[in-house]
Structures are given as C-alpha cells and as structure tokens.
Structure 1
Amino acid sequence: MNQSAKSYSPLQVALIGGAIATTAAVSVFGPAWTRCVRAALAFQDSPKAIVDQAWQVVNREYVDGKFNQQDWQATRQSLLSKDYTSREEAYTAIREALQKLGDPYTRFMDPKQYEALTNQTSGEVSGIGIRMELNEKTKRLTVVEAIENSPALKAGIKAGDEILAIDGKPTLKMKVDDASKLIRGKAGTPITLRLGRTGQNTFNLKLTRATIEVPTVRHTLKQEGNRRVGYIRLREFSAHAAEQMQRAIRDLNTKKADAYVLDLRGNPGGLLQASIEIARMWLDNGGIVKTVNRQGGSEETKANRTALTNRPLVVLVDGNSASASEILTGALKDNRRAVVVGGQTFGKALVQSVHELADGSGLAVTIAHYYTPKGTDINHKGIAPDIKVDLTEPQERQLASNPDLIGTRSDPQYARAIAVLSGGNFAQPPVNRPSSSLPLSDRANDLKF
C-alpha cells in the first residue's frame, strides 16, 4: 500500500515528548523555557505546521534534486513567513508552492481527497456492495449488480431493482454520487432501502453495512471459433488486484482456456507492486521494470518463474491506459510475451509515494522515473501497440452507451485481438531468457502511480 504513516520531524517528536514534562520542568528552566515550549506546541497544532511538513516531504523525496530550478529553501522561508488564519489558506499556499515544480503528479490533497485516494487504492469500500446507475428511460436509480459476498447479494438484491428511497430519503432526481454517499458508511451500521422490483409491490429492505472488496478484475471464457479464449478485464491496480487476477487466471486455466485477451483499456494505473505481481503471473523470465531515483540510483525487478500460464496472449490498450498499465504492457511487449493491440498508451513514466500529513491531509510526491525492460523512456510518449487499431468516434460512442458490447465481436479492438489469435500471429514467452535484473526492494509496496 501507499506510505501512510504520519511522520514528524525530530523537533516535533521532541516537543511531543517534552509536553508531558512541561509542568515538572518549570521550576528548573523558568518561565522563558515554558513560553518557548508553549510557542512550539502552538506551532505544531497550527496550519503553518502542515505547510512545513509538506515542504519537508518534498525536500526529502522529490525526484528532481534541483526542484525545477526553484530555490526550494527560499520557498520554505516564504511559506513560513506568512500567517494562516485557516487550514484552507495553508492548503492553498502548499498547492501554489507545488505548482512551481511543474509536476502535475506531485500534488496536495485535503483530508477528503486523501481519504478518497486511500479508499480507491485499498480496493475496499464500506457499504452494502452494489453498482448502480441512473436508468436513462425511467430516470430512476437502478441496481446494475450486487457484488459477490456483499450484504446486498446476501439480502437478495437483484440487477434491475430500483432504489426508491435511502433511509427514508426519496431518490427521485438524485445523482448517483449523492446516493453513493448516503449508502456508504461505517461497517456495522444499519441502512434501509425502499426498493421497486418488476412484478412486485415496493418494499423496504434492512441491511447492515460491511467492508467489501471491490472487484477490479472481471473474466469470462469465450468460444471464439475453435479457440477457447479467456477474456480478462483489469480496471485498476488496487491492493486486491493481484489476488483477483490470480483467481481469474486459475479459473480460466481450469476451464481449459487455450488463449487469453487481457484488457487494460481505460486503466489509469494504481499500485506499483500490483503491476509487478501481475506481470509475474504472465512471465517466467525477463525484466519487468527499472526505476531511477533522485540520486540516479536504479533498481530493477524481474520475473521469478511464477507464471500461471504460457498460453498465447493479446493485450488491449488505449490512450487512457496509464502508468501501472504501461509497466505491465511494456514488460509483456519487451519480453515478446504478448501482442499489444489498440491505441497509443498515455505516457506516464513517473512513480509517486503517498504520505499522510498530521491533520489527515495527504501529499503525493514523485520520487522516481521508470523505464521498460529494454530501457525505453515512455514518458509523454506512451507505448506504441504492435497492431494499431484506433476506434472512430461513432465506435467509441457505441461502446460507451452499451458497455455490454465491450469484449465482444462488436468491439473492433477485441475483434482484432481474436483475429490475431486465430491467425497464429502471436508471441510466445521466451525460453530460459537470461536477465541481469535485480529484485526491486520491498519499498515498491509504498509506491503509487
């Protein structure tokens, strides 16, 4: 997961420890010492302390030691010379300072934004476990799916059920996001939904919220001509993505899939370690990724003979396949393990470490640049597919308006993948390919894209 432990400078730690002894120390050090300690403690609890903590994290970890040619020490002096009447003022000052770095990925998050990020990358939510949409015809909130092992599924909620009220609050004209905020809540707390179901009278259903693992991997076995194709779609690299991918591949292996299509289209990335673990499920040998830090030191990671299948593989990508998606795609392409089909990928080759600050806000800091196994820098360029298939605007609209067509013959990029597999024009994994790569350190668990 991301780095999330609250960190304090040595001065702050000393002050926290010293606060306990303040009363006893007065007779020894006198009123001047007491005033000094009180002033320091006031600083620790002030918005200015958050500003300084954010500056310290960037000063310590940012990938560019020249800070985009900015005088970072002078930036600190400027930040600390101001008085902040609210946390919002401090947050604005931090964001303005970070803009000088010219790096959109080094960014400040207020407590709500930081919580949203950590929830996303954890791959878990606290709620009842449904996916819902605003039905275009009825204009009502409608259940698309009840997630596996969720309170909703166990209570019998079905796709197509209309959510008419949440804890007595009518949902007519309510946005999906607003409904989600009402449904989510602390695990163990109760919630009552008013549901409408075809052929039945409306009814109330009481549920208890729980912590639910969000599905980020979906898979199915398709009969395509004489081939049994395992289709896997990976939406993001969350903390549960690797274990879900492992289950998907093993299930499709059991069902005798003799080829695979791995769909990374629209996947914005996620945790570095998840991309490494998933790459190892497809690769027995070869490099996966190399990262280079601020000092120019590099770390490399490679496959470790733990591949779950050596069957032919096609990877689908597009312009929204980014960062961790590009690490996986680059590893499979450079090792000639897969044929890459689709559009040019996004082109983000930077690694961030995420920190929680003392007041619950957060900071994502770029700490490294990464390269594909062959040493290619894809930043601002992306990965070129082996077979370029760009969707037309009408095709994009059709798939967006009818997601059930994704991963079918009505999906031009998927159809091309099947043609590649059917024609035998696919890559095979290298046999006993030597590699000088060294394992990436466990610090990868703290990194995010």
Structure 2
Amino acid sequence: MRKRGFWVGLGCVCLVTLSWLGWTPQANAFTEDQKIFLQAWRIVNQAYIDDTFNDQNWWLMRQNYLRKPFDDRDDAYDAIEEMLATLDDPFTRLLRPEQYRSLQVSTSGELSGVGLQIDLAPETHQLEVVTPIAGSPAEAAGVQAGDYILEIDGFKTQDMALDEAATRMRGKIGTSVVLTVEHPEEEKTEKIKIVRDRISLNPVHAQLDTENSDTPIGYIRLSQFSANATQELKTAIQKLDNQGAEAYILDLRNNPGGLLQAGVSIARLWIDNDPIVYTVNRQGMFDSFYADHNAITDAPLAVLVNKGTASASEIVAGALQDNHRATLVGQTTFGKGLIQSLFELSDDAGLAVTVAKYETPNHTDINKQGITPDYEISQDPITVSQIGTEADLQYQKAVNLLKGNSVIAEAT
C-alpha cells in the first residue's frame, strides 16, 4: 500500500497511483473515444471499493454505453461522468485533461487563483469553503470557513465536481472571478468579486508562545498535507525545540487533508512505536502503517481540531489520540475516512477512484462520523489574526492543559 503519491488539490484527499491498462485484442475494434471509456470502466471495475458498484450490473453498464455512438472525446467524457454518477460517490470522478493539469500545478507548491480550500458538504453536497488560505485574495475579500459557494462567474455549483469548481476559480494573475457566496452564520448571500493572485502553498506556520503560559509552547499550524509538509514540520519542531519549547500545540483546524503518505510521515514525527492507520480494501483485506522509531520529540502535545479537519488530518489526529500521545481539543472532525487513487488515462485525463477506507489504530471507522475530541470546545468563527489570542477558546484550553505537562496525565 505504500504507493507514490502527490497532493490532489483543494480539499480532496488522495493516495495517488499511475496505471496503464493494456488493451485486449478485442479493443482494436473500438474507436479511440470508446477506448478511453473502456479504460475508465476497467479501472473502476478492478479498483472501486464497492464490488457491487452501488448494487448495479457493472458489465451491463459497459454494454449499454458502448451501444451509444461517441461523436467526439467530449461525448466519451460525458458518458464516463454519467457512469460514475451512478455510483453515488462524489469522490470518484473524472478529471478532464485541463483539470488534471491544474491538479499537477497545485502539487508544485504554488498556483494562481483566489486561495480557497473547498470540499463538498457531506449531507447536502454543496460546495463549502473549508478555509481561505492565509493572506489570499479570498481571505481579504471576506470569504470565511463554512461559507457556501453557490455560483462561480454565474455557473451554479450544485452538482459541480470539486475539480471543476477549483479550475473555474483558478486563472491568470490579475484576472477576476465573481463568487456568489452564502454566509450561513449571518444568513445572507452576496456576490464577491475577487482578483486572482499568486498563492503560496507553504503548509506550516510556527512560533514560540511564551505569553500565555509559564511553559514555553511551540505552536504549529499545518494547513495541508502536501509533498513538502513532513520536512517543513520537522524543521519547525527542531527550530522550536532549539528556542526552548517544552510542549507543543499542533493546529489541524480547517486542514482538509492531502497525501496519505504525508499523514503517516507526520504522525511518525510524534509517535515512536505504535500503529498509525489501517487501510481496508474491497476484499476486506487490511494493510497497516506503523511508526518507525524515529519520533523527534516526546514533549507534551495538544492537537486542535474542528469540522474542517478532514482526511489525512483525521489520520494524524486519530493516531495521536488512540495511542495516547496527545489530547484533542475542539470540535468533532469532518469524517472522511475514504482513500482515493488517481489513475492516469491514456489521453492525459485522470480518474479519481475510491479504492479503500481507513481505520484509526483502535479500528474505528470515522467515515461520516468524524473523531470526537477529548475536550469539546465550541467556538464562533475567528480570523487568522485572532488565532492564539483570548478570542481563540480552543487554543486557550490547549494551553491550560499543557501547563505543568498535564496533557500527559490526561492522555494516559
């Protein structure tokens, strides 16, 4: 299960593999457009987690679509999207070539756009803002975590795939996009014009807090599990340790996840010799990831979580909680316990497919349930500038727990 991976964009958590599926001799009779459809069908047939395919005859599905003529590649893409929609799984989806290229840009650590991390609300499938990226045009324009994006440049987002929404919000620096945004907390909807800019994807913010406690506390906020997140976090811990940190707060609030492998590697920075996560495929077979005796600190640790803490973030939070390594403070997490693999199609498109689910070290399936923190602290939305201040009730609770190393006693 230790496959090579990279971070898949705004709010989508994926274990990524590349696959080339060879054609059978019979495939030579098909058009190129039909071959693309068939390749997508085979990938789902072999990899999708539910081998009943949402209680459907998947072979009959193939036959029915092949009876329809495809006039061009867009027809084939439309057929693939219709086929995938029958699975009723928003995370299994087609990435058309331009969407796939945008995804690759996002893995470089820098892109141009509005600076929003987005996901689909689990119950309504509405396009929801997980969090605006700090310093981004979206944050400056007043878009907040928990807002719903109803339209992008007049295009309704209902039933719009995450990748399409992300693509529409990205664009050249200096160009603008108009978002129709619903603020649930304020019960109002407004149109917001945002000028795109370069977005830095540095995932780690760290500082030493010596004001809120007699115990010097290293505060680390991790915004995403990208390819460079582990090294950045390791560097931050070592720097804070050199500055005299005696305890740590790891802030995973509004972190939508990212690479599974990054989640495992980051958990290993804190856990020395325990299970981190179990994965379960459609045959019910388990694979496991363990710590490898390379933890770089055993200092007391508190972890901040909320409803925007998802996927790889939940892997880390669950591992730290179940292994009694840290105390969790905040609100119940998002509840995304599914793993997607990204398969590359032969025409530079891609296919994201749900291939497995994961369980925490205590074999808890958190999908659609989330992780309940040890201390539930509700909190009204705060701005980035208010994090760590008196307005940040969850942070203040974590500080109080860390005083006198009490978090170790609580955890054990």
TM-score normalised by length of structure 1:
0.68
Q: Which residue of 1 aligns with 2:398?
A: 417
Q: Percent identity?
A: 40
Q: In structure 2, what is the equivalent of residue 219 of structure 1?
A: 206
Looking at structure 2, the residues matched to 119 and 171 of structure 1 have their Cα atoms a distance apart, in angstroms, of: 19
**Partners in 1 of 2:177 and 2:110 — Cα distance?**
25
Structure (1 or 2) with the greater helix fraction:
1
**Relative to 1, partners in 2 of residues 1:173 and 1:8: Cα closer, same or farther, differing over 3 Å?**
closer
Q: Distance in 1 between matches of 2:306 and 2:350?
A: 30
Instruction: Classify 1:49/1:289 alpha carbon distance in 2 versus 1 (closer, same or farther; 3 Å).
Output: same
Rounded to whole Å, the distance in 2 between the matches of 1:58 and 1:313 is: 41
Secondary structure at 1:359 match in 2: coil
Counterpart code for 1:214: L
Mapping 1:50-449, distance limit 5 Å: 50-120=36-106, 122-125=107-110, 132-133=136-137, 179-180=196-197, 214-223=201-210, 224-391=212-379, 395-396=380-381, 399=382, 402-422=383-403, 424-427=405-408
For residues 262 and 410 of structure 2, the distance between their equivalents in structure 1, rounded to whole angstroms, comes to 21
Q: Secondary structure at the match of 1:94?
A: helix
- Partner of 1:351, secondary structure, is strand
* Structure of greater Rg: 1
Q: C-alpha separation between the residues in 1 aligned to 2:314 and 2:72? A: 40
Number of equivalences = 337
Q: CA deviation at 1:119?
A: 3.1
| Change in CA separation of 1:126 and 1:344 when aligned onto 2, cut-off 3 Å | closer
The letter for the 1-side match of 2:398 is A
CA RMSD of aligned residues (A): 3.1
Amino acid of the structure 2 residue aligned with 1:74? L
Q: SS in structure 2 opposite 1:104? A: coil
In terms of mean alpha carbon deviation, does 256-265 or 295-304 score higher?
Answer: 295-304
Give the AA of the match of 2:235: R
Quote how far apart the aligned CAs of 1:11 are.
3.2
Q: Contact 2:175/2:196 (CA < 8 Å) preserved in 1? A: no
- Structure 2 gaps of 5+ residues are 7-15, 113-133, 143-171, 180-191
Alpha-carbon deviation of 1:380?
1.2
Cα 1:403–1:367 shift into 2, 3 Å:
same
Flag structure 1 segments of 5+ consecutive residues without an equivalent: 16-36, 138-165, 185-212, 432-449
TM-score for both structures, normalised by structure 2: 0.74
User: Deviations for 1:177-234, whole angstroms, at most 9, x for unmatched residues?
Assistant: 6533xx69xxxxxxxxxxxxxxxxxxxxxxxxxxxx8311111111122111111111
1:117-173 C-alpha deviation (Å, 9 max, x unpaired): 3333x252367xx95437569xxxxxxxxxxxxxxxxxxxxxxxxxxxx99x79899
Q: Relative to 1, partners in 2 of residues 1:136 and 1:8: Cα closer, same or farther, differing over 3 Å?
A: closer
Query: Within 2, Cα distance between the matches of 1:357 and 1:176?
Result: 36
- Give the aligned residue type for 1:11: T
State the secondary structure of the residue aligned to 1:242: helix
